[in-house]
Amino acid sequence: MPAPILTSPALPAIASLLDLAGVAVFALSGALLAARLRQTFVTMSFFALVTGVGGGSVRDLLIGAPVFWVRDSAVAPVCLGVALVAWFTPHRWWDRPVLEWADAAGLGAYAVLGTAKALAYGVTPVPAVLMGVITGCVGGVIRDVLAGRPSILMRPELYVTAAALSSALCAAGQMLGLANGLVWPVAALAGFALRGVAIQFRLGLPAYGDK
C-alpha cells in the first residue's frame, strides 16, 4: 500500500506544513461561523474540527487511506487552537474579506494536496481530481449543513470550480511527468487566482433557467 501523503517519498515534506495550514484556515471559517451564530465554545470547537478535517476525512475513506487526522497528532490540537483564538479575539479582526481571501488560499492548496494524495495511493487521474475537490470543499459543506444555511454547492459563486481547476492542473502535471515542485505551486495559485477574481468581481456560474 502506498504511504500516506505526509510520509510518502514522492511528496515533499512541506506537504505536512501546507496540510496543517489548510486545516487551520478551514477550521477558522468553521469557528467564526459558530461565533456569528452566538454559540458556545464547545460548539465553536466542534465546528472548527468538522470544517478543518471534513473534506480530508471523506477523501481518505474513499481512497482507502488511514484517516489523516487520527494518525497525525498535530491536527486536532490545531483545530482546537484555532477555536481558542477565535473565541478570545474580537470578531471584527476576522471580517469577511480577510476570511474569504484566506479561504481562497486554503482552497487551492488543499485541493492540490488532496489530488496528490489520491494519486500517491494509486487512484487514476479523473477520480483523483474529484478527491481534490472533495478535500477542498466538503468540510465547508458539512459546516453549512450543520449551521442550517445553504451550502456553497447551492450558491453560483466560483468556489467548487476553483478547487476543480487546482485539482485538474495537479493531475495533468503528474500525467505529463512534470516536477511536483513546479506543478503544485502553479496549480494552487491558479485555483487561488480564479477564486480571487470571483471574490473581487462577484463572479458566478449561470443558473439553470426554464426554457
Residue 133 confidence (pLDDT) above 90: yes
Q: Which residues contact 32 (CB under 8 A, 6 or more apart)?
A: 86, 91, 94, 99
115: how many CB neighbours lie within 10 A of its CB? 34
Residue 36 confidence (pLDDT) above 90: no
SS3 at position 203: coil
Residue 31 domain flag: yes
pLDDT in tens, 158-184: 999 999 999 999 999 999 999 988 999
SS3 at position 210: coil
Comparing 98 with 140, the larger pLDDT belongs to 140
Residues in the chain, overall count: 211
The set of cell numbers assigned to 3 is 504511504
Residue 99 domain flag: yes
| pTM confidence score | 0.89
Burial of 124 (0-12, 13-18, 19+ CB in 10 A): exposed
DSSP assignment letter at 204: B
Residue 96 domain flag: yes
Residue 109 domain flag: yes
The set of cell numbers assigned to 176 is 505529463
pLDDT band at 153 (very low <50, low <70, confident <90, very high): confident
pLDDT band at 13 (very low <50, low <70, confident <90, very high): low
Q: Picking from 42-46, 98-102, 115-119, 191-195, which range would have the lowest pLDDT averaged per residue?
A: 98-102
Residue 130 domain flag: yes
DSSP assignment letter at 157: B
Residue 181 domain flag: yes
pLDDT in tens, 51-72: 999 999 999 999 999 999 998 8
Q: Average pLDDT, whole number, for the chain?
A: 88
Residue 62 domain flag: yes
185: how many CB neighbours lie within 10 A of its CB? 13
Tell me how many domains the chain contains: 1
The CA distances from residue 143 to 40, 53, 118, in Å, are 16, 11, 23
The set of cell numbers assigned to 14 is 512541506
What is the model's pLDDT at position 21? 84
Distance CA 160, CA 55 (A): 13
List the domain range (segments joined by +) for residue 115: 14-201
Residue 2 domain flag: no
Residue 18 confidence (pLDDT) above 90: no
SS3 at position 134: helix
